[in-house]
Amino acid sequence: MFKFLKKSGFLPLAFFFIMTCQTTGQILNGSEGSIADDEYGCKKFYNLAINYQRSRLWAEAIEFYEKAISCSTDYSEAYVGLGNLYEELDSTDAALSVWQTMMTKFSDKIETYLEYASFLSKNDSLEKAEYMYISAYDIDSTNSTVILGLADILTKQDKFSEALPYLETALAFTEDPAIIIALKQRMAKCYVGTGCPESAADLLEEILLVYPDRIEIHAWLADAYKGMREYNKAIEHMEILIETDSSLQRLMEFGSLLATAGRTSEAISRFREAISKGGGLSAYKQVIGLLNSSGQTSLAMQFAQEALSSYSTDSYLNVLVGTRYQAAAVEAWNNQNWDDCIANCDIAIGYFSNATSGSYVTQAQQKLLNVQQLREAARLKKIY
């Protein structure tokens, strides 16, 4: 979860060294009383914990967070630090325990709900996270972190129309350029989700003028222009994006966009590139579907048979290739060429029998029965 205005709590490194010389020698040597008795002891424990965390000395950081918590019942910052440290260490159960304890001890503090909401969001408990953000909003409806978090969690659940008012409210009271850009990005996504790609494109183009190096904006603009069916503009932005991000996911997205735009040969090229990068069955199916829809059935069969070398039991591929031989068997039957009919049936039977995984298994079984019956009829015709 993107958090604005959140203080890291880290002390400057020079100050850490000064404090270490002055106060921590006795701690590290086992003499802790002088700090614990100091009226600023809890804060010093907390600062030490943060600097140990910064130095990746996890056990020491946990120890001093716990000391800070033990010496003051009101030290919510220490709970926040400890919970975030556990999250950093992927200690989910320990982090959850800290946030739940905060819910008991600090139910009136906004950071309790913000931290717990962020944790829940990261762990895909979106509805619970939404409730926490709403609770935080009830405490302070002008907090940009709260509003942005609530908008994010609503957007993650595709509640775009609910998210938009919070984003618009946040824009009205912030002058921070970074926050304004972040809000507009989220608004653009919501406009796309609510079927208003024109509004999204206007916002994104505005952001791009200010931040021309924000590559991710091109991805959002490609989606917006695709929603407007302005495919050439969408492709222009995707081409810019692909120059810096030619990942498998991007290649698949670009191939789909090109296919939607009717640029079949370019789409096939991108999917072929995706296959070479491990795109697997999904990329093969995209290419095969494009080739079939464009009438290039022979080439589609070549891709299908190539894919079967790696995905031999996939029902879609086996049905696709098997159906071609079934059609050839039917044609041979109509021409009373019983030997060719039987030979093509045998090949089709092999493919239909191999179709044991995927969503076309039932169809493969029905086709297998049909082609077996055709083969038997051809065999009898040949004999009699």
Q: Output the six-digit token pair for 260.
A: 């939607």
pLDDT of residue 175: 83
Predicted pLDDT at 362: 95
pLDDT at residue 210, as a whole number: 84
pLDDT at res. 231: 94
pLDDT score recorded for residue 287: 87
**pLDDT score at 39:** 42
Domains and CATH numbers, the chain: 246-311 (1.25.40), 313-384 (1.20.58)
CB 154 within 8 A of CB 189: no
Helix axes 280-293, 297-308, angle to 10 degrees: 160
The pLDDT of residue 131 is: 95
Chain-wide mean pLDDT for the chain? Answer: 85
Tens of pLDDT, residues 84-130: 999 999 999 999 999 999 999 999 999 999 999 999 999 989 999 99
Q: Output the pTM of the full model.
A: 0.58
pLDDT at 6: 35
pLDDT value of residue 8: 32
Residues of the chain under the 70 pLDDT cut: 1-40
Among 115, 172, 318, which residue's Cα sits nearest to residue 187?
172
